[in-house]
Amino acid sequence: MTEMIGNLPDGWTIYIWLITGVLIIIAVIYWIRWAAKNEQFDEDIKYLVFDENDKDKMSPEDFKKSQEVMKSQMKRREENLALEAAKKAKK
């Protein structure tokens, strides 16, 4: 193996760098696609840390938005739990 590498012409290492770079780009694209499909880029996530006790610390608009986001997230959670239960029931 070392003899084969030693017999390679000069400049062959650039091809290893190019292949490695392409593999990294493919991996990044895959993980960004996965994150987009799994709701990882949700801008409203910041509202999930608030609850009813934080009403006085927020503007009325922000509190209303917080409550809407919490309801939608709970609904989405219930949907996901139902999907997981259905998958387990199939097995």
Q: Which of 79, 76, 80, 49 is nearest to 65 (CA)?
A: 49
Q: What is the mean pLDDT of the chain?
A: 87
**What pTM did the predictor assign?**
0.56
Q: pLDDT, tens digit, for every residue of 62-79?
A: 888 888 988 988 998 899
How large is the average pLDDT for residues 11-24?
Answer: 91
Distance (Å, whole) CA 25 – CA 83:
32
Distance (Å, whole) CA 55 – CA 43:
20
Report pLDDT for 30: 98
Q: Which DSSP state fits 43?
A: G
Percentage of residues in the chain having pLDDT higher than 70: 98
3-state secondary structure of 33: helix
Q: Which of 1, 27, 67 is nearest to 59 (CA)?
A: 67
